[in-house]
Amino acid sequence: MSGLVIDPICPEFGARVIDADLQDLNADCVRDLNAALDRYGVLVFPNQKLSEADQISFAKVFGTPSERSRPADRRAEQSEYAHLIGLVTNVRENGEPIGSLPDGEMWLHHDGCFIDEPYRATLLYALHVTSTGGETRFVDMRQVYRDLPIEIQSELIGKTAVHQFDYRNINARPQSIPSSGSAREAEHPVVIKHPRTSEPALYVNPLCTIQFSDAPNDDLLDHLFSAIEENAATFHHRWSVDDLVIWDNWSSCHARSDFPAAEKRMLRRCIIKGCALDAH
Ligand SMILES: [Fe+2]
């Protein structure tokens, strides 16, 4: 037994891992942390002191850290780890953000849904936080699927959807025609089979999902967005400095609430490689 103390946030979604030493993890810890991520979808590790190298080393507990999707010529970060770690921050130098996703609210989404092999997980570590706002909200997409009426579940069998993301557009649904050359696009089943647990999970989101692949049905898509928005299997993480949070991008989606633009917010982000997603 690893002896890790895992304290659920919702009964079956989200958990805090208390007093874990992330720089001294044995094989039992690695197994139990992966099992906890599979079960709870989101793990919060408070009070961690992690360098960039420590964060990458911890990320390897969950798989292979992925090169960032943002092209090198559009990255402002200068660190030697900039190909693996990005800053999510509103800090600017000479008027230009020094990291990614600087300002404001961000709608519910799955990281990486716009690539062919969506990331397994994202790790975010808080360096500076605002006095209010900026929370990350998580939703359990397995529970959203389970709670759909059976006739809606039946209607989704065999459906795929198109996802797109433009880094300059984080609080509005994309248009079907890419608004700029920076947008990336991918297609995935609307109900996926989780690659590790085989559980079904709804895989559409209001920020990135443009339409069903076969024929647009905005009423059904809007119904699914409402089901995500209103599901009870959700919580907001209020960030404290030195929090490390990891979430499963196959079983959950997340959003960011607005925060005061004049206050400094800075988090360090890295991602874990994923795989193509099969239909449930
Ligand atoms: Fe995200």
Q: Tell me: the pLDDT tens digits for 216-231?
A: 888 999 999 999 999 9
Mean pLDDT of the region 78-92: 87
2 CA from centroid of ligand 1 (Å): 30
CB contact set of 126 (below 8 Å; sequence gap of 6+): 239, 240, 241, 242, 243, 244, 266, 267
Q: What is the pTM of this model?
A: 0.93
Q: Is the pLDDT of residue 49 over 70?
A: yes
Q: Rounded to an integer, what distance in angstroms lies between the CA atom of residue 15 and that of residue 245?
A: 10
**Around Cβ 233, how many Cβ atoms within 10 Å?**
20
| Residue 75: predicted pLDDT | 64
Closest alpha carbon to 136 in 257, 267, 269, 259: 257
| Residue 3: predicted pLDDT | 85
151 CA from centroid of ligand 1 (Å): 30
94 CA from centroid of ligand 1 (Å): 26
* pLDDT grade for 259, boundaries at 50, 70 and 90: very high
Share of the chain above pLDDT 70, in %: 90
Q: Is the pLDDT of residue 101 over 90?
A: no
**Around Cβ 146, how many Cβ atoms within 10 Å?**
15
| Residue 165: predicted pLDDT | 83
What is the pLDDT of the chain when averaged over all its residues?
92
* pLDDT grade for 76, boundaries at 50, 70 and 90: low
Phi–psi pair at 211, nearest 5 degrees: -170, 165
Choice among 11-20, 113-122, 140-149, 181-190 with the minimum mean pLDDT = 181-190
Phi–psi pair at 241, nearest 5 degrees: -55, 140
| Residue 79: predicted pLDDT | 77
- Backbone φ/ψ region at 235: left (φ over 0), alpha (ψ -120 to 50), beta: beta
Q: Is the pLDDT of residue 17 over 80?
A: yes
Mean pLDDT of the region 54-77: 84
Coil, helix or strand for 12?
coil
Distance (Å) of CA 17 to CA 21, 36, 121, 139: 10, 9, 17, 19
* pLDDT grade for 121, boundaries at 50, 70 and 90: very high
Considering the segment(s) 5-272 as one domain, its CATH architecture is 4-Layer Sandwich (3.60)
Query: Is the CB of residue 210 less than 8 Å from the CB of residue 176?
Result: yes
Q: Is the pLDDT of residue 106 over 80?
A: yes
| Residue 133: predicted pLDDT | 96
254 CA from centroid of ligand 1 (Å): 6
124 CA from centroid of ligand 1 (Å): 10
| Residue 173: predicted pLDDT | 65
71 CA from centroid of ligand 1 (Å): 17
| Residue 68: predicted pLDDT | 76
Mean pLDDT of the region 149-171: 87
**Can you point out the beta strands (E) in 12-130?**
15-18, 42-45, 86-89, 92-93, 96-97, 106-109, 121-128
Hey, where are the domains in the chain? 5-272
Query: Is the CB of residue 9 less than 8 Å from the CB of residue 235?
Result: yes
pLDDT tens-digit readout, 264-276? 999 999 999 999 9
Sign (positive or negative) of CA dihedral 59, 61, 62, 65: positive
Q: Rounded to an integer, what distance in angstroms lies between the CA atom of residue 55 and that of residue 58?
A: 5
243 CA from centroid of ligand 1 (Å): 16
**Can you point out the beta strands (E) in the chain?**
5-8, 15-18, 42-45, 86-89, 92-93, 96-97, 106-109, 121-128, 136-140, 160-165, 184-189, 191-193, 200-202, 209-212, 234-237, 244-248, 252-256, 266-272
